[in-house]
Amino acid sequence: AQSVTQLDSHVSVSEGTPVLLRCNYSSSYSPSLFWYVQHPNKGLQLLLKYTSAATLVKGINGFEAEFKKSETSFHLTKPSAHMSDAAEYFCVVSDDSQGGSEKLVFGKGTKLTVNP
């Protein structure tokens, strides 16, 4: 079965500095991968998704992620953090182990703090 591991439970950066949130995946199939963001007291919003069309995926709010098959990684980056980026971020893989089930498997989340 597919799984994802988010390597950091908390990341703290200063406003204006780069953001790196790390995610490794385990999959016996060609995976579909997603990053979702959850702002405090809000639902989840899709940031970006990888669907094998291109290894570098651009998302909303200046975020991007690069799919690296050799490293089984899908790290999320942003060149310059903004205070509004403070949130919890989830790396997600689509579990196709049952053929078309399309269930999502979530990582445990990384809480991003942005300091002024």
Partner 1 sequence: DADVTQTPRNRITKTGKRIMLECSQTKGHDRMYWYRQDPGLGLRLIYYSFDVKDINKGEISDGYSVSRQAQAKFSLSLESAIPNQTALYFCATSLPGSSYNEQFFGPGTRLTVL
Backbone angles phi and psi of 83, in degrees to 5: -55, -35
The C-alpha atoms of residue 17 and residue 41 are separated, in whole angstroms, by 25
Q: Does 85 interact with partner 1 (rule: CB under 8 A)?
A: no
Task: Say if residue 89 is exposed, middle or buried (CB neighbours under 10 Å; 0-12, 13-18, 19+).
Answer: buried
Our finding on whether 40 is near partner 1 (CB under 8 A) is no
Smallest distance, partner 1 to C-beta of residue 66, A: 17
What is the nearest approach in angstroms of partner 1 to the Cβ of residue 51? 4
Interface residues toward partner 1, by CB under 8 A: 9, 32, 34, 36, 42-46, 49, 51, 90, 94, 96, 100, 102-104, 106-109
